[in-house]
């Protein structure tokens, strides 16, 4: 399986990193080895001094598909979750400044934390999902999916022009503002429509 991530999908996060609003979705991929074991802590990698949390709504693909039209995209997933796209921001800034790919900053082992899955039918309007991340009991990121530049269905249509989607693939749909550094012993908890969707300790 593969993990397809969207960058710069919330205007307020684009502004906080001084990035330019893209004309089309920014895409990158994490390998299956990036998936964190949800029962283990997140370990800060030795090569970075500045790892950030990026809480994101996740979509689990349940059908194989290519060149999917936006109007049919809803048939390709029935589970929604919450995850964290852990990002070695210092490494990413170096790579960005040289125009190089982001994989060392974004796709390292454990960089994709996947929380609990929910049936989409139980979540109501997917265009208005509320989600938040709490760090040591303080809300650091809070948004709803109406603030996405590209919706879940538009993302599926876009990425499936380039990559065949397969059962079990996971989409990370982008992070809103409020990203910040994680430190040893931080406790992160995520909520999706008020329900606890992820919990982890940083080591």
Interface residues toward Mg ion, by CB under 5 A: 54, 85, 175
**How far apart (Å, rounded) are the C-alpha atoms in residues 127 and 178?**
20
We find the least distance from the C-beta atom of residue 173 to Mg ion, in angstroms, to be 9
Nearest to 118 by CA among 131, 100, 109: 131
We find the least distance from the C-beta atom of residue 92 to Mg ion, in angstroms, to be 10
We find the least distance from the C-beta atom of residue 77 to Mg ion, in angstroms, to be 19
Nearest to Mg ion by Cβ — which residue? 85
Which residue, 78 or 102, has its beta carbon nearer to Mg ion? Answer: 102
Sequential DSSP letters for 8-47: S-BHHHHHHTTPPPPSS-EEEEE-GGGBPPTTSPBPPPTT
Please state the φ and ψ torsions of residue 19, each to the nearest 5 degrees: -95, 165
DSSP secondary structure code for residue 133 in this structure: E
We find the least distance from the C-beta atom of residue 71 to Mg ion, in angstroms, to be 26
Which residue, 56 or 153, has its beta carbon nearer to Mg ion? Answer: 56
**How far apart (Å, rounded) are the C-alpha atoms in residues 31 and 153?**
22
Which residue, 85 or 169, has its beta carbon nearer to Mg ion? Answer: 85
């Amino acid at each position: 399986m593969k993990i397809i991530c969207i960058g710069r999908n919330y205007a307020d996060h684009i502004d906080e990193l001084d990035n330019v609003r893209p004309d089309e979705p920014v895409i990158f991929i994490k390998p299956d080895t990036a998936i964190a074991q949800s029962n283990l802590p997140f370990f800060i990698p030795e090569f970075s001094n500045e790892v950030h949390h990026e809480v994101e709504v996740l979509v689990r693909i349940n059908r194989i598909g290519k060149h999917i039209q936006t109007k049919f995209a809803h048939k390709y997933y029935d589970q929604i979750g919450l995850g964290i796209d852990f990002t070695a921001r210092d490494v990413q800034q170096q790579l960005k400044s040289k125009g190089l790919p982001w994989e060392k900053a974004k796709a390292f082992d454990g960089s994709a934390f996947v929380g609990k899955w929910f049936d989409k039918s139980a979540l109501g309007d997917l265009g208005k999902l509320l989600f938040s991340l709490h760090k040591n009991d303080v809300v650091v990121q809070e948004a709803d999916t109406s603030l996405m530049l590209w919706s879940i269905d538009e993302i599926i249509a876009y990425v499936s022009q380039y990559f065949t989607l397969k059962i079990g693939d996971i989409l990370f749909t982008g992070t809103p503002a409020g990203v910040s550094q994680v430190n040893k012993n931080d406790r992160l908890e995520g909520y999706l429509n008020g329900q606890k969707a992820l919990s982890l300790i940083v080591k």
